[in-house]
Structure 1
Amino acid sequence: MSNAQGTHRAARGAATPVPGAATEAGGTRLPHQSDWNAVPNSSWADEAAATGCLPLIPEQEPAPTAAAPVGARTAARRAARNGGRPEPAAGGSRRDSRRDPRPELRPDSLRRLLPQALVVAFLAGGTVAFLAGDKDVQLTVDGEPRTLHTFADDVGEVLAQQGVTVGEHDLVAPGPQAELHDGDQVEVRFGRPVTLTLDGHRRLLWTTADTVDEALRELGVRAEGAHLSASRGSSIGRHGLDLDVRTERTVTLLADGRERTVRTNAATVREVVAQSGITLQNQDTTSVDPESFPREGQTISVLRISGTEEVREEPVRFRTEKHKDAKLFHGTEAVDTPGKAGVRRVTYAFRTVNGVKQRPRIIRSEIVREPVTQVVRIGTKPLPTSVAGADGLNWQGLAHCEAGGRPHAVDPSGTYGGLYQFDTQTWHSLGGSGRPQDAPAGEQTFRAKRLYIQRGSSPWPVCGRKLGG
């Protein structure tokens, strides 16, 4: 190869030789389409992609021949410098020799070079676009970074390519719709459920923190001096965590005439009392439930209790059942089963709280004897209004004389009762039930008429004369 050819090749980059490509003058030329077909794609295509231009194809050295005369070799070198044209004759015109120093390009050569140049331009442009679309991105998922190359246009696309699925409680920065550029950093933090019991109040929260300390800061929970069910450095997995937090509170205790103010993160009032050095003895208690949660600023009194218990037996009232009876006249009641009261044993506590006596308080109660239910029959039979031989008498005058017209009147001895002062035996013999003073006025008048038919006015020796007028 000549020095001119070597210099030209070094300037354009190393070229891939194409078998069978040669020139008449032993120089270099652009490859023909038929030459491309003879070279593997990886050879010239790689060089075209790397340099952005079509590689030159060096011509093969001519085969060694017999030494030519010096004049002939000099003419050949001059022809190579003139683009393959022979040196003009010595006697020719100098003007003619400077007319056109460029080699002549025939139309068929142009037709062959144009598609080759278009292909090279297409390959170079595609390579530039390919390299421009590739992005170097750092993706951090839950604190674990990874560097990747991607052609994704936005954050959501690169997450889908990496198989990262995010939900409503997860954090993606920048957002899934944000455009992606070379050198961007994308962070994904998955949400974790935290069942937080804060000072006795339980609720479900979501956090992207992966430690208890970060979660407390993110949720705005004051943890100084607080009791934590898990240490601050504990990790929070994707499954979440149950966290109990009791913040430090100020509680005031009143006991034995003294006031104590304490700072505590105790879970119960009983624990606060114990922390303050106060001892509860026997029946002693506090003004609030000892097992309740102590609140910020709460004032609690300690109650010193002393007292005794007393057991008493008290009656239990019986029930009454009433049943209708068509054999009894309307308004009449008959007791079939008398009721009996039961007995209940009650234990009372008599207490003195901080020196002040309290009202008795029932602490136990039990039934000793069950009460007996009373059963009563109520008459529904209509009362007769007439008794032959006695209807025209002055029964109202007799009733006024005997009982002052009062159906429930009873004499001082308790033997006679009602409008007509029946004794119980006479009343039952006339078909009445119970006591006469408990029967309706109409029934009493009906029974009195029947008695008059049997015995006349003799049952009423003083007032019987009223019947006549």
Structure 2
Amino acid sequence: MADSLPVAGPPVAGLGTDVDAGPGDHDAGPGQGQGPGAQGGRAASRRAAAAAGGRKRSARGAASRPGAGAGAGAEAGAQPVPQSPPRTRSAPRERGADPLRRLLPQALVVAFLAGGTSAFIAGDKAVQLSVDGKPRTLHTFAGDVDELLADEGMAVGEHDIVAPGRHHDLASGDRVIVRYGRPVSLTLDGERRQVWTTARTVDGALRQLGVRAEGAYLSASRSAPIGRKGLDLDVRTERTVTFMADGRERTVRTNAATVREAIEQAGIGLRGEDTTSVDPESFPREGQTISVMRISADEETREEPIDFSTERHEDPSLYKGTEVVSQRGEKGVERVTYSLRTVNGVKQKPKKIRSEVVRPPRTEVVKVGTKARPTTVQGAEGLNWNGLAQCEAGGRPDAVDPSGTYGGLYQFDTHTWQSLGGAGRPQDAPSEEQTMRAKKLYVSRGASPWPVCGRKLHG
């Protein structure tokens, strides 16, 4: 669209002015951005002017014909010609109407041209268009802001600003402002987010986004421009952080990215295994209180036992309920190294850091009998073994006397029990096995092993 547009043609001076103007006198040249209504008005004006010109030329030719009027002959110096007698019809009225017929088309053309030119001038508006702070003045026939932007080939999106609104009607002298949105990948105090701004500099964007920049760290200078493609911006605002170290409290203002960096700014050094109550690489927050822990470390090595495992194998040569240890288990030895830490003077629980086996443990092997046990002993059947068991142990297979020497239903001592083929202790064997071995003892020694309760066998 052209920045300015010429007026459609010179004003008509009067009815006697020659309106037969050449083509293009009333047209703005091609490409002037005029609307279809204006072009139609100019074409009609040209057709009316052409018609008026033809009538004018016809009138001039009529005046040169013989008898056109006495005035013409007198100007040439000719002798007077005798006049014919007057006719009865009103010839003078016809001659008087002829000038009116000549002037009426010209008046119509002049009126039409004046109206078309006024409409053309009224539709043209001078407006100021400012795009991202760069203003320019232009002439437009657009009816509203949206039409103006379309004529200028300007596309606007949801993040752009157009003022006044896109559907606001335009008048001459109006100002239209367009500000394009710019994407900013903002990392503010360690938190990343995507934002939009119409500001053209980092400083303007910070003000627009409400970010407090005094004392802050900025990854780009505040005067740096922001292009239409946007930019990445890292901002760390100034925060108040308190450190507790070596029995003292220190408060600092910092825009550090990590706790470790803030500690250094506070003049507190971390040595060896010293650390803080929060991760030293974490982001320090506003109002945070952080403790510095002084750590001293040492190592200690100890030899500790390793428990052995037990394997059980079935043995058909042993009676059911009988278990025999064929290989005794032995504990192993493990050498373990512990880290001993002291935090701010307080000893911590030892922490195992490495170990090695000095002697492996030996597995214990137990044979478990599966052989069916005999239920009778010749020479000992038919006796009251239940009465003897009740008298000796109250009928309890696991009974043990107060001295711990005798056990089981029949109160065997361990030596006697094992001499009869029993394994382990008598009180650990099943009731059937205890009765069977008591019968064997009776066959070899009678009731004498039970001097008090032996009489129960026959009663």
TM-score range, shorter chain: 0.5 to 0.7
Match of residue 358 from structure 1: 347
Match of residue 260 from structure 1: 250
Measure the CA separation in 2 of the matches of 1:137 and 1:322.
104
Match for 2:287: what amino acid? G
Per-residue CA distance 1:292-339 (angstroms, 9 max, x = gap): 332323333444444533222334556778999999999887879858
- The secondary structure found in structure 2 opposite 1:451 is helix
Match of residue 312 from structure 1: 302
- Whether 1:192 and 2:183 are equivalent positions in the alignment is yes
Please say which of residues 242-251 and 386-395 is displaced more in the overlay.
Answer: 386-395
- Whether 1:448 and 2:434 are equivalent positions in the alignment is yes
Match for 2:384: what amino acid? L
Check whether the contact 2:389–2:395 (CA below 8 A) recurs between aligned residues.
Answer: no
- The secondary structure found in structure 2 opposite 1:217 is helix
Measure the CA separation in 1 of the matches of 2:367 and 2:74.
159
For residues 21-32 of structure 1, the aligned pairs below 5 Å read none
Check whether the contact 1:330–1:383 (CA below 8 A) recurs between aligned residues.
Answer: yes
Match of residue 224 from structure 1: 214
Measure the CA separation in 2 of the matches of 1:125 and 1:424.
144
TM, length-normalised to structure 2 = 0.64
Q: CA deviation at 1:247?
A: 1.4
Percent identical pairs in the alignment equals: 42
**Distance 1:105-1:67 versus aligned 2 partners, 3 A rule:** closer
Q: CA deviation at 1:245?
A: 1.5
Q: How many residues align?
A: 410
- Whether 1:405 and 2:396 are equivalent positions in the alignment is yes
**Distance 1:277-1:42 versus aligned 2 partners, 3 A rule:** closer
**Distance 1:393-1:289 versus aligned 2 partners, 3 A rule:** same
8, 11, 20: which one aligns with 1:16: 20
- The secondary structure found in structure 1 opposite 2:269 is coil
- Whether 1:103 and 2:97 are equivalent positions in the alignment is yes
**Distance 1:293-1:413 versus aligned 2 partners, 3 A rule:** same
- Whether 1:271 and 2:267 are equivalent positions in the alignment is no
256, 262, 281: which one aligns with 2:271: 281
**Distance 1:228-1:417 versus aligned 2 partners, 3 A rule:** farther
Please say which of residues 374-383 and 138-147 is displaced more in the overlay.
Answer: 374-383
Q: Aligned-residue CA RMSD in angstroms? A: 5.6
Q: CA deviation at 1:150?
A: 4.9
- The secondary structure found in structure 2 opposite 1:456 is helix
- The secondary structure found in structure 1 opposite 2:14 is helix
Check whether the contact 2:341–2:347 (CA below 8 A) recurs between aligned residues.
Answer: yes
- The secondary structure found in structure 2 opposite 1:351 is strand
Match for 1:351: what amino acid? T
Q: CA deviation at 1:458?
A: 4.7
Check whether the contact 1:385–1:446 (CA below 8 A) recurs between aligned residues.
Answer: no
Per-residue CA distance 1:259-288 (angstroms, 9 max, x = gap): 433222222233233223333334444444
Match of residue 3 from structure 1: none
- Whether 1:394 and 2:385 are equivalent positions in the alignment is yes
Match of residue 35 from structure 1: none
- Whether 1:296 and 2:286 are equivalent positions in the alignment is yes
**Distance 1:291-1:260 versus aligned 2 partners, 3 A rule:** same
**Distance 1:76-1:209 versus aligned 2 partners, 3 A rule:** same
**Distance 1:118-1:270 versus aligned 2 partners, 3 A rule:** same
Check whether the contact 2:374–2:436 (CA below 8 A) recurs between aligned residues.
Answer: no
Q: Structure 1: state its 5+ residue gaps.
A: 1-8, 18-39, 78-88
Match of residue 237 from structure 2: 247
Q: CA deviation at 1:364?
A: 1.7
Check whether the contact 2:385–2:435 (CA below 8 A) recurs between aligned residues.
Answer: no
Measure the CA separation in 1 of the matches of 2:294 and 2:257.
23
Match of residue 24 from structure 1: none
Match of residue 72 from structure 2: 73
Check whether the contact 2:319–2:372 (CA below 8 A) recurs between aligned residues.
Answer: yes
**Distance 1:72-1:176 versus aligned 2 partners, 3 A rule:** closer
Match for 2:198: what amino acid? T
Per-residue CA distance 1:26-57 (angstroms, 9 max, x = gap): xxxxxxxxxxxxxx865788998499795453
Measure the CA separation in 2 of the matches of 1:235 and 1:424.
103
- The secondary structure found in structure 1 opposite 2:97 is coil
Q: CA deviation at 1:450?
A: 2.7
Q: CA deviation at 1:226?
A: 0.9
Measure the CA separation in 2 of the matches of 1:254 and 1:126.
87
Check whether the contact 1:330–1:378 (CA below 8 A) recurs between aligned residues.
Answer: no
- The secondary structure found in structure 2 opposite 1:270 is helix
Q: CA deviation at 1:187?
A: 0.7
**Distance 1:314-1:372 versus aligned 2 partners, 3 A rule:** closer
TM, length-normalised to structure 1 = 0.63
Measure the CA separation in 2 of the matches of 1:75 and 1:325.
171
Measure the CA separation in 2 of the matches of 1:220 and 1:44.
57
449, 456, 459: which one aligns with 1:462: 449
Per-residue CA distance 1:438-462 (angstroms, 9 max, x = gap): 45xxx2x111233245453658853
